[in-house]
């Protein structure tokens, strides 16, 4: 290539052309490619991704978040790997939520919301005010294990799900939102009601 260029560009005037071919034109090509890429970015359709709820701990404290299974006899088993059969109840608890404020009636006023999303971010469940009236007398201003429960239908798609649990102190203004990731296996159960 060098021999060709020396033969082809033998005069001073031709050196300017050589400079243009070897330096300026490649720079122009690079600039054009960058411009095309930037233009393509502008043409990319805007896809709205689901917004993940913000997690927070404000004014309340807790020890840990755990998944559990509860037997028909009421026995609680905490899970290291939260994998459930479809149709099985998913329990997600915040342990020892404390620093609740008492009202003038000597009671604490709690509220809780539960949200479950699938792997694509689609909401499978959203439930507010899941504690009913939410007035309790809590020992040491502590709720031992407030928990959200989600029972997926037996035909629900197997895969990964996220549960968001939000707990509010309606008197003191504190609040906590935490999330836990769990799975529904391919296996499903159908609960039968007997007489």
Residue 182 shares a structural domain with residue 123: yes
Under 8 Å between Cβ of 86 and 138: no
Instruction: Give the three-class secondary structure for 187.
Output: strand
What pTM value is reported for the model?
0.70
Residue 26 shares a structural domain with residue 68: no
Residue 95 shares a structural domain with residue 120: yes
Residue 109 shares a structural domain with residue 160: yes
Residue 48: inside a domain, yes or no?
no
Q: What is the pLDDT of residues 3-28, one digit of tens each?
A: 544 554 455 555 554 544 454 444 44
Residue 103 shares a structural domain with residue 154: yes
DSSP state for residue 1 in the 8-state scheme? -
Residue 35 shares a structural domain with residue 64: no
Residue 27 shares a structural domain with residue 66: no
Give the H/E segment covering residue 78. strand 76-79
Per-residue pLDDT, 36: 41
Residue 49: inside a domain, yes or no?
no
Residue 52: inside a domain, yes or no?
no
pLDDT by residue, tens only, the chain of 195 residues: 455 445 544 555 555 545 444 544 444 444 444 444 444 444 444 445 457 778 999 999 999 999 999 998 999 999 999 999 999 999 999 999 999 999 999 999 999 999 999 999 999 999 998 887 889 999 999 999 999 999 988 889 999 999 999 999 999 999 999 999 999 999 988 665 554
Domain with 33, as residue range(s), is 2-43
Rounded Cα distance between 148 and 165, Å, is 6
């Amino acid at each position: 290539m060098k021999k060709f260029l020396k033969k082809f560009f033998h005069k001073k005037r031709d050196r300017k052309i050589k400079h243009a071919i070897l330096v300026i034109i490649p720079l122009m090509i690079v600039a054009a490619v960058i411009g095309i890429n930037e233009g393509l970015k502008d043409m990319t359709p805007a896809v709205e991704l689901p917004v993940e709820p913000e997690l927070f701990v404000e004014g309340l404290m807790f020890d840990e978040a755990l998944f559990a299974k509860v037997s028909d006899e009421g026995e609680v088993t905490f899970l290291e790997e939260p994998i459930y059969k479809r149709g099985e109840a998913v329990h997600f608890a915040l342990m020892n939520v404390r620093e609740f404020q008492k009202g003038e009636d000597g009671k604490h006023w709690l509220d809780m919301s539960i949200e479950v999303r699938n792997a694509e971010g689609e909401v499978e469940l959203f439930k507010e005010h899941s504690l009913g009236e939410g007035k309790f007398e809590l020992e040491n201003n502590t709720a031992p294990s407030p928990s959200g429960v989600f029972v997926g239908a037996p035909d629900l798609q197997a895969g990964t799900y996220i549960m968001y649990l939000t707990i509010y102190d309606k008197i003191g203004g504190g609040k906590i939102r935490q999330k836990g990731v769990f799975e529904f296996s391919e296996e499903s159960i159908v609960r039968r009601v007997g007489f």
